[in-house]
Amino acid sequence: MIKLICSDIDGTLLNAERELSDKTISEIHKLRNKLPIVLISSRMPSAMRHLQKQLGILNQPLVAYNGGLISVDNTIKHSTTIPFELVRKIVGLNRKGLHLSLFNADDWFAPQADRWTSREINNTKVNPILKTNEDVLELWKTNKTGAHKIMCMGEAEHVSEFYDELAHAFPEDLHLYRSKETYIEIAPRQISKKSAIEFLIASEFDFDLSEVMSFGDNHNDIEMLEACGLGLAVGNAKDEAKRAADEVIGHAKEDGVAKFMLRYFKM
């Protein structure tokens, strides 16, 4: 029996307009009082709460930054960041002038207003604080504040070079996700969506991973899809995510998650 639903957002739950469809909202509304439904994403918390509100699940846990920040009832229960000194080293390696956005909790620091910043604003409905990487490091220096996530954006060739450099320099410290050729999502090595679900099961719920249903589409969903009792990849998912899943369902832009829920729970 499924006792918890965990779903990725981008590429999984949202439609072509990067919004929740009426069908998705309707199906989740039918389920929300029967079992917990948790949004689990690489997004920052403030880019997820408006979706929680639309779905009527503001009272449910929230997993942001691929598991780097877990909150329950708007209280942070778990937080893992890239240490300050490592953030400094990553910034120092950026010799090609790639866009590096630095994130901590609900703060998004973008180095300048450029096309990458505009794209993220459009995708997440959140506005950043414009501050250079060097100024953010100066701001964080006193308390040795770390980054929940670093988002690297730029031309594909330069992004690939930077990916290889980071992978070689910090193989034990960082998770590097290529959601697109022009993106790298940089996170602490020790966290994942799977580890976040395990934390929630241990601290908030009383059941097993085998009783969890999860939805995803990308490389950062693979561990979660493999570990959960029912891992479901949307039709537009990366091939690796599809292979990790128990079943491939409909395309995200065609309400794949909502249609599967309707069929599975026979609502």
Residue 92: partners with Cβ closer than 8 Å, 6 or more residues away: none
Nearest one of 153, 131, 148 to 43, comparing CA atoms: 148
DSSP-assigned letters across all residues of 57-116: -TTS-EEEGGGTEEEETTEEEEE--B-HHHHHHHHHH-TT--EEEEEETTEEEESSSSHH
By CB neighbour count within 10 A (0-12 exposed, 13-18 middle, 19+ buried), where does 51 fall? buried
Q: Which amino acid is at 235?
A: G
DSSP 157: H
Give the pLDDT of residue 267. 56
Domains along the sequence of the chain with CATH? 4-79+191-265 (3.40.50.1000), 84-188 (3.30.1240.10)
The torsion angles phi and psi of 155, rounded to 5 degrees, stand at -65, 140
Give the pLDDT of residue 266. 85
| Terminal Cα distance for the chain, rounded | 16
Q: Give all strands of the β-sheet with 4-7 in edge-to-edge order.
A: 75-79, 69-72, 62-64, 37-40, 4-7, 212-216, 230-233, 247-248
Per-residue pLDDT of the chain (267 residues; tens, 9 = 90+): 899 999 999 999 999 999 999 999 999 999 999 999 999 999 999 999 999 999 999 999 999 999 999 999 889 999 999 999 999 999 999 999 999 999 999 999 999 999 999 999 998 999 999 999 999 999 999 999 999 999 999 999 999 999 999 999 999 999 999 888 999 999 999 999 999 999 999 999 989 999 999 999 999 999 999 999 999 999 999 999 999 999 999 999 999 999 999 999 985
Handedness of CA 119, 121, 125, 126 (dihedral sign): positive
Residue 14: partners with Cβ closer than 8 Å, 6 or more residues away: 20, 252
Could you tell me where the DSSP H helices lie in 151-248?
Answer: 156-169, 193-203, 222-227, 239-244
The pTM of the full predicted model, rounded to 2 decimals, is 0.93
Whether 43 contacts 11, CB under 8 Å: no
CA distance 165 to 238: 24
